[in-house]
Amino acid sequence: MTEILLFHHALGLTDGVRAFADRLRAGGHTVHTPDLFEGRVFDSVEEGVAHAQGLGFATVLERGREAATGLPEALVTAGFSLGVLPAQLVAQTRPGVRGAVLMESFVPPAELGTWPEGLPAQVHGMDADPFFADEGDLDAARDFAGSGVAEVELFTYSGDVHLFADNGLATYDEDATDLLVERVLAFVARVG
């Protein structure tokens, strides 16, 4: 059993994010889903990002760092889209983290410090997602995967939607999500 710290996307801690966490729990893991927006949920990515900008990304990152307080060192961090920021920050700055699962977003590690040598990661996203593929995240993830800094698995899924793993949204893709869950569970079993 592994402790997983899963951060929500820009729409907030939706029922779909909770359902995804439940699938990881069904795999025998303990999953923590902090609410970085303190109960606020949004109908569009743009509204959620505007809310995060209003809070300040530094506040979102600090809330993510605080969510890790009190959890075991041997932790896997994970995040969807906006939630990749705190997931990556905790993975890059907290000793003992075992791995990072970064879904539908990727931040070049230098923007948050340095990547710990040997820390494994998975990056997931749709190959034509306008946020992931068209805004440079996919290219940055490819560069990082080829850098040799760590074991990095990059998985792309056929499609052009963002937030494909949230079963409460119109963008939900059941087949891609099933494959995502399978890959995440295999990763967590290996690194945890």
User: pLDDT, tens digit, for every residue of 72-89?
Assistant: 989 999 999 999 999 999
Average pLDDT value for the chain: 95
3, β-bridge pairs: 30, 75
Domain ranges for the chain, please list them.
Answer: 3-191
CB contact set of 79 (below 8 Å; sequence gap of 6+): 6, 7, 8, 9, 85, 86, 87, 88, 101, 102, 103, 105
Q: What is the pTM of this model?
A: 0.96
Tens digit of pLDDT for each residue in 16-69? 999 999 999 999 999 999 999 999 999 999 999 999 999 999 999 999 999 999
- How does DSSP assign 71-113, residue by residue? S-SSEEEEEEGGGHHHHHHHHHHSTT--EEEEES----GGGGS
Task: State yes or no: pLDDT of 192 exceeds 90.
Answer: no
Query: Mean pLDDT across the stretch 109-128?
Result: 95
Banded model confidence at residue 12, pLDDT cuts 50, 70, 90: very high
Q: Which fold has domain 3-191?
A: Rossmann fold (3.40.50)
- What is the edge-to-edge ordering of all strands in the sheet holding 99-103? 30-32, 3-7, 75-80, 99-103, 121-126, 152-157
* Residue 100 confidence (pLDDT): 98
Amino acid at 19: A
Banded model confidence at residue 128, pLDDT cuts 50, 70, 90: very high
* Residue 1 confidence (pLDDT): 85
